[in-house]
């Protein structure tokens, strides 16, 4: 079973946005045993889109389109799909109209003809209800193929894609694939590959291993078994046990686990609370922690101490220590963590101070130098790390590193 | 002059990596007047790559390939390009061999045949020296077209792309394209389209307009003029003036401006400082503000007041007001903003309190209800907004809305 993905819109072709949708869709399709043969981006041009549809429908069983569904006149996908599938009429889809009306009303705006038009769909399609936006998805059964059209806004596409995946599983006989992913932090890909080389050589050939590196959050290891049987899950679990012996605490979770989700579990288990004191990460750590639903159960709050006066007045950092060691130092960051723990009345606290760049570096304290501390009921620990990358990368890497340091403390 | 981009490799098709190279290349090509007609990702499959090359060379003047140049056997681009361009022999490229040797030696590894093979290139190409990696770039003049092949590693590709851009400018007579983008916030796409309809109808036909919506940060409006002349910039400027009359302060910037970049400018102009007090946005606002290099000049810091005790003890919110009105209320968020301004000694302060969900909503205060306040030297203003979306979206939209509220205050 093969699919092709067609993304429509000039934004991608002029380099204004990066196409993240295709990777998302590919991953979801692969997980249910659909192979993606080609991904193509084309402009908002009628002839080009039609030609691409024709070519792709000659090769693939499933065509997935994203983009080109907005209410303005440069969005033409709906018209082209109506023409391509031989639609005879436009049909008002009441549930979609209700969503459009609700969204528009909630924004305090009057409905207009363009809004209403979004709920008009070709009579050749089944509607994939979009509860999160004004452009519905469409499912066409066309000459033994399936053509799906979704809006290009990532979270709307992701919402509709859930229904598409379920529908594809019922329409097609899909060969199952068994996937299991282990998440690691702290060992770069090349070193990880080296450390796992002899274990990897002994992997049974039907268990495929892929390294999925992410410079911010670490390397994920994905096991895949095509045509799995009743023994597959146990077989992979035994390999993961071996992996745990090799990697220890570098493994932090599985599947879609992130450091902040794992921390959420650990803090709840311990019935412990957390606070943050951030300088160079500027709120990024707190933002990651509070991205987890239910974080108010353990996260008390944080201080973003960008200015030294905030470090001194609110976190109680000793002014002379800043003068002696500089704001970016283990001494200061330890006091920040201890100060946050005390001021915000938490069991644990994370603190960061560093140089995110691009300016502000010196030969002694270059851009990328970051000090991280974790205060615990037992005291305070700290470390100094040199990160590479641009400003957002240094911030993200520092935040992940700090979360991991707290994780290791919580595991003790 | 048109180009097509072909990215080769299974990683993209199984959703393992997001293709950021194509957006980078597209932007560079657009800037020198080369229109990208199509971007396609294909697997490491000989027949498929050959077919894609053939099709693309029928349509475009320039083909840019990335990926499939590594030393392992699944990387086959070099062989296919040799075949496609009718190469008769392989030639050792000494400067590339020197780079490969240096890189391998630096890693403390011995040179092997696979490494050496990387410097062997088809006799039909000019070599584009890659100083940053082991796979050289290749430039083919093929039947009046140009075919370029570069490695898929982003920073190596970006290095070689500099040379490609310069070479393209000398080889082709490139017609420039004029682009100008205006950024707006606060008016949804469909309403914007309605409000601009009569102006848009009167746009000269050679000025193309595109709506580029982003649910978090607003709609960008892009003007494009193909074959611009000396009058184009003035012509577009006059249209933008008309747009300003229609949209007023909904326009916040141009090009790659974000709300946080515009705020940075406004605060520096006024020589004013800023602080934050965040509840539901959990550090997101501070994180956006500090993503701007140089933000330490005006950002003093922030308090993430997740727990009510933090609101009371650090921000000085009146406990009885929380009990009477609830933490998510205009009364509390105004006190938070005033408290942040006072505690952190800033001229301006932003505060948020809301229900980001998915839990915690009630019929009176549903998920998505967010209160936002801005304290200024003149007092405090606040507003209550209902956002749609999931947890991260509600957080992002609240943050953008809060930044915009501050922007409007700074413009007064």
Confidence of residue A98 (pLDDT cuts 50, 70, 90): very high
Judge whether B176 lies within some domain. no
Boundary (domain end) residue, out of A254, A271, A306:
A254
User: Which of A73, A284, A345 shows the shortest C-beta gap to B309?
Assistant: A345
pLDDT at residue A12 greater than cutoff 80: yes
Q: Which domain holds residue A192?
A: 177-254
Chain B positions in Cβ-Cβ contact with residue A53 (cut-off 8 Å): none
How far is residue B87 CA from its own chain's centroid? 40
* Mean pLDDT of all residues belonging to chain B: 92
Confidence of residue B72 (pLDDT cuts 50, 70, 90): low
Q: How many domains does chain A have?
A: 3
Q: Do A276 and A228 belong together in one domain?
A: no
Judge whether B16 lies within some domain. yes
Q: Which of A63, A39, A26 is nearest to A143 (CA)?
A: A63
Q: Which residue of A has its CA nearest to B395?
A: A291
Mutate which: A40, A72, A276, A295, vs B, most B CBs within 10 A: A72
Confidence of residue A309 (pLDDT cuts 50, 70, 90): very high
Separation of alpha carbons B400 and A68, rounded Å: 25
Average pLDDT value for residue range A195-199:
87
Q: Which residue of A has its CA nearest to B360?
A: A294
Judge whether B217 lies within some domain. yes
Separation of alpha carbons A107 and B52, rounded Å: 46
Separation of alpha carbons B170 and B189, rounded Å: 41
Chain A positions in Cβ-Cβ contact with residue B178 (cut-off 8 Å): none
Query: How many other CB atoms are found less than 10 A from the CB of residue A47?
Result: 8
Judge whether B123 lies within some domain. yes
- Decide which of A67 and A399 is more confident: A399
Q: Does B13 touch chain A (CB under 8 A)?
A: yes
Confidence of residue A174 (pLDDT cuts 50, 70, 90): confident
Q: Does A74 touch chain B (CB under 8 A)?
A: yes
Does the bond joining A36 to the residue before it have cis omega, within 30 degrees of 0? no
Average pLDDT value for residue range A47-63:
93
Judge whether B218 lies within some domain. yes
| Burial of A248 from C-beta contacts in 10 A (0-12 / 13-18 / 19+) | exposed
Chain A positions in Cβ-Cβ contact with residue B305 (cut-off 8 Å): 301
Judge whether B178 lies within some domain. no
- Cα B64 to Cα A45, B39, B56, B264, distances in angstroms: 21, 9, 10, 38
Confidence of residue B216 (pLDDT cuts 50, 70, 90): confident
pLDDT of residue B12: 85
Average pLDDT value for residue range B245-265:
95
- Who's near B353: CB < 8 A, 6+ residues apart? B279, B280, B327, B328, B329, B332, B333, B336, B370, B371
CB contact under 8 Å between B215 and A25, yes or no, is no
Confidence of residue B56 (pLDDT cuts 50, 70, 90): very high
Q: Do A266 and A389 belong together in one domain?
A: yes
- Cα B265 to Cα B12, B298, B405, distances in angstroms: 39, 10, 15
| ipTM score | 0.82
Chain A positions in Cβ-Cβ contact with residue B290 (cut-off 8 Å): 281-284, 304, 306, 356, 395
pLDDT at residue A294 greater than cutoff 60: yes
pLDDT of residue B70: 64
Q: Do B300 and B189 belong together in one domain?
A: no
pLDDT in tens, B155-192: 889 999 999 999 999 998 887 788 899 999 999 887 89
Separation of alpha carbons B57 and B61, rounded Å: 7
CATH of the domain at A379: 3.90.950.20
pLDDT of residue B39: 96
How far is residue A144 CA from its own chain's centroid? 34
pLDDT in tens, A130-154: 998 889 999 999 999 999 999 998 8
Q: Do B137 and B202 belong together in one domain?
A: no
User: Which of A106, A155, A287 shows the shortest C-beta gap to B283?
Assistant: A287
- Who's near B230: CB < 8 A, 6+ residues apart? none
pLDDT at residue A193 greater than cutoff 80: no
* Mean pLDDT of all residues belonging to chain A: 92
Q: Do B327 and B249 belong together in one domain?
A: no
CB contact under 8 Å between B314 and A343, yes or no, is yes
Judge whether B93 lies within some domain. yes
Query: Residue A213 in 3-state DSSP?
Result: strand
- Decide which of B18 and A199 is more confident: A199
Boundary (domain end) residue, out of B254, B269, B303:
B254
Chain B positions in Cβ-Cβ contact with residue A346 (cut-off 8 Å): none
User: Tokens 């790559």 correspond to what residue?
Assistant: B49
CATH of the domain at A182: 3.30.70.2860
Q: Do B373 and B320 belong together in one domain?
A: yes
Q: Do B311 and B395 belong together in one domain?
A: yes
Query: How many other CB atoms are found less than 10 A from the CB of residue B280?
Result: 28
CA distance B94 to chain A (A): 27
Is the alpha carbon torsion for B147, B150, B154, B155 positive or negative? negative
Q: Do A163 and A186 belong together in one domain?
A: no
Q: Do A54 and A35 belong together in one domain?
A: yes
Boundary (domain end) residue, out of A112, A144, A171:
A171
CB contact under 8 Å between A19 and B22, yes or no, is yes
Chain B positions in Cβ-Cβ contact with residue A309 (cut-off 8 Å): 300, 345
The H-or-E segment that residue B125 falls in is strand B125-128
pLDDT in tens, A252-271: 999 889 999 999 999 999 99
pLDDT of residue A72: 67
pLDDT in tens, B315-356: 999 999 999 999 999 999 999 999 999 999 999 999 999 999
Q: Do A95 and A224 belong together in one domain?
A: no
Q: Do B23 and B159 belong together in one domain?
A: yes
- Who's near B8: CB < 8 A, 6+ residues apart? B41, B42, B43, B44, B49, B65, B66, B67, B68, B77, B152
The residues in B 319-348 lying below 8 A from A, measured between CB atoms, are 343-345
User: Which of B37, B193, B285 shows the shortest C-beta gap to A114?
Assistant: B193
CB contact under 8 Å between A357 and B389, yes or no, is no
Task: Name the pTM for this structure.
Answer: 0.82
Average pLDDT value for residue range A98-116:
86
* Six-digit token string for B28: 């560079």
Average pLDDT value for residue range B104-122:
82
Confidence of residue B143 (pLDDT cuts 50, 70, 90): very high
pLDDT of residue B330: 98
CB contact under 8 Å between B302 and A283, yes or no, is yes
Average pLDDT value for residue range A161-185:
91
How far is residue B92 CA from its own chain's centroid? 39
The residues in A 17-36 lying below 8 A from B, measured between CB atoms, are 17-20, 22-30, 35-36
Q: Which residue of A has its CA nearest to B281?
A: A287
Decide: B23 and A17 in contact? Cβ < 8 Å: yes
Judge whether B177 lies within some domain. no
Q: Do B147 and B199 belong together in one domain?
A: no
CATH of the domain at B236: 3.30.70
Mutate which: B11, B31, B32, B41, vs A, most A CBs within 10 A: B41
């Amino acid at each position: 079973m093969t699919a092709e993905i067609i993304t429509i819109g000039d934004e991608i072709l002029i380099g204004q946005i990066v196409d993240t949708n295709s990777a998302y869709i590919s991953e979801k399709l692969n997980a249910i045993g659909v192979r993606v043969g080609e991904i193509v981006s084309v402009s908002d041009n009628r002839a080009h889109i039609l030609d691409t549809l024709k070519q792709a429908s000659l090769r693939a069983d499933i065509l997935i389109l994203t983009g080109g569904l907005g209410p303005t006149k440069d969005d033409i996908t709906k018209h082209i799909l109506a023409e391509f599938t031989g639609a005879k009429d436009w049909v008002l889809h009441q549930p979609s109209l209700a969503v459009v009306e609700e969204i528009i009303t909630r924004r305090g705006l009057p409905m207009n003809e363009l809004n209403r038009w979004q709920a008009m769909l070709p009579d050749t399609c089944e509607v994939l209800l979009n509860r999160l936006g004004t452009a519905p998805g469409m499912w066409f059964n066309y000459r033994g193929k399936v053509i799906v059209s979704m809006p290009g806004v990532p979270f709307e596409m992701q919402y509709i894609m859930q229904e598409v995946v379920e529908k594809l599983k019922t329409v097609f006989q899909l060969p199952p694939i068994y996937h299991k992913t282990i998440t690691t932090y702290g060992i770069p890909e090349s070193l990880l590959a080296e450390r796992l080389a002899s274990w990897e050589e002994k992997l049974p050939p039907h268990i495929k291993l892929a390294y999925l590196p992410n410079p911010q959050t670490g390397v994920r290891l994905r096991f895949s078994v095509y045509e799995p049987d009743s023994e597959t899950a146990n077989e992979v679990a035994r390999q993961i046990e071996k992996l745990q012996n090799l990697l220890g605490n570098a493994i932090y979770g599985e599947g879609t686990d992130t450091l902040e989700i794992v921390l959420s579990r650990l803090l709840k288990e311990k019935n412990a609370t957390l606070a943050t004191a951030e300088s160079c990460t500027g709120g990024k750590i707190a933002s990651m922690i509070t991205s987890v639903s239910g974080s108010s159960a353990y996260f008390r709050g944080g201080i973003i101490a960008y200015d030294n006066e905030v470090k001194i007045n609110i976190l109680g950092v000793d002014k002379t220590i800043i003068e002696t060691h500089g704001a970016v130092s283990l001494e200061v960051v330890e006091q920040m963590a201890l100060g946050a723990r005390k001021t915000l009345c938490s069991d644990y606290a994370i603190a960061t101070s560093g140089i995110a760049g691009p300016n502000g570096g010196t030969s002694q304290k270059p851009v990328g130098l970051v000090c991280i501390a974790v205060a615990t009921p037992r005291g305070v620990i700290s470390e100094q790390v040199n990160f590479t990358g641009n400003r957002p990368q240094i911030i993200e890497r520092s935040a992940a590193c700090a979360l991991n340091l707290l994780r290791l403390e919580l595991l003790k």
